[in-house]
Amino acid sequence: MKTLFDLIREPMLIGSIVIGVLIVVGAYLGSHYYYGETVVVETPEPLAYTPSQHYTPPALDFSELPEPIETKQTQLESEITPSWELSIEDLLAELTEAEKQTLTSEVTPPRESLYGLGPYPEIPHDYPEQDVWDNIEKLYYDGYESIGHELIERVLIKLWNQGTKVTAATYNEQDGVIPHYDDTVYVEWQTDDEGNRYLSKFSCHGDLGQYEESVENGTQPSWVKVVPLEGAGIDPYSFLDLP
């Protein structure tokens, strides 16, 4: 068995020790070569600042500042600044009649029928009775309520717009609206117990009333048109597209 001394003298062990020593010495010398000597610097403690008293800034005095200088540009702006202190009358005076009418139609809601027939149709500018809706409403408020008056006027206005210039008519629920033309009479005949035919209904324009007897006798003027009353009327609701 080898003693400790014999082991120390082994070439392999001696070589390992020599290599380890060389590595340690090489690492030490290399660090000094690249980084140099290490110097330890002591960092002083930070100083604490404590103000001796609270600082109050002095108040500013603007009383001694010079007055602002008005430049030419400022003077020009003040001269051209418009004044909006205009009355409604002044504004309306600047509008044309067409603009006034447009403004009025946009602001004023359309008038509507007191009988639930919707807005009144516009009255043609050449229609003889321009205040027709005022008259219809006056009859209503005076107690003469009759939807027939309004139906007649609505039919006559539509006929007028279509080119048929008629200004009078009668109305009843059975016959509808009967336009009264200047040359037309509407008749209905009946026969008595003896077989004689006579006029039971005669409707016409006022001036044609004088020909009632002659129509019954068949001696009316040739220009007077005699039309059977049945079927001659206009159904106002379908004609005017009313509900």
Q: Is residue 223 part of a domain?
A: yes
Q: Confidence band (pLDDT; 50, 70, 90) for 26?
A: confident
Q: Is residue 177 part of a domain?
A: yes
Q: To the nearest 10°, the Cα dihedral for 15, 17, 21, 27?
A: 80
Check residue 83 and give its pLDDT: 52
Check residue 104 and give its pLDDT: 64
Mean pLDDT is lowest, of 55-59, 77-81, 130-134, 153-157, for 77-81
Mean pLDDT of 194-200: 89
Average pLDDT, the chain: 79
Is 112 or 59 the better-scoring residue by pLDDT? 112
Say whether pLDDT at 82 is over 80.
no
Q: Is residue 133 part of a domain?
A: yes
Check residue 60 and give its pLDDT: 63
Check residue 27 and give its pLDDT: 74
Between CA 221 and CA 228, with CA 224 as vertex, the angle to 5 degrees is 125
- What is the spatial distance between Cα 4 and Cα 236, in angstroms, rounded to a whole number? 142
Q: How many domains are there within the chain?
A: 1
Q: Is residue 143 part of a domain?
A: yes
Question: Exposed, middle or buried: residue 156 (CB in 10 Å: 0-12, 13-18, 19+)?
Answer: buried
Check residue 239 and give its pLDDT: 95
Mean pLDDT of 29-55: 59
Q: Is residue 49 part of a domain?
A: no
Q: Is residue 68 part of a domain?
A: no
Mean pLDDT is lowest, of 72-86, 115-129, 190-204, for 72-86
Check residue 36 and give its pLDDT: 59
Check residue 29 and give its pLDDT: 73
Amino acid at 40: V
Q: Is residue 77 part of a domain?
A: no
- What is the spatial distance between Cα 232 and Cα 177, in angstroms, rounded to a whole number? 9
In this structure, are residues 120 and 133 in contact, taking their beta carbons and an 8 Å threshold? yes
The whole-model pTM stands at 0.53
For the record, the structure tokens of 224 come out as 């007077």
Q: Is residue 230 part of a domain?
A: yes
Who contacts 204 (Cβ-Cβ below 8 Å, separation ≥6)? 180, 184, 185, 186, 211, 212
Q: Nearest-CA neighbor of 203 among 178, 221, 186, 228? A: 186
Who contacts 206 (Cβ-Cβ below 8 Å, separation ≥6)? 168
Q: Confidence band (pLDDT; 50, 70, 90) for 110?
A: confident
Check residue 143 and give its pLDDT: 86
Say whether pLDDT at 72 is over 70.
no
Q: Confidence band (pLDDT; 50, 70, 90) for 185?
A: very high
Domain that holds residue 151: 111-239
Mean pLDDT of 9-16: 71
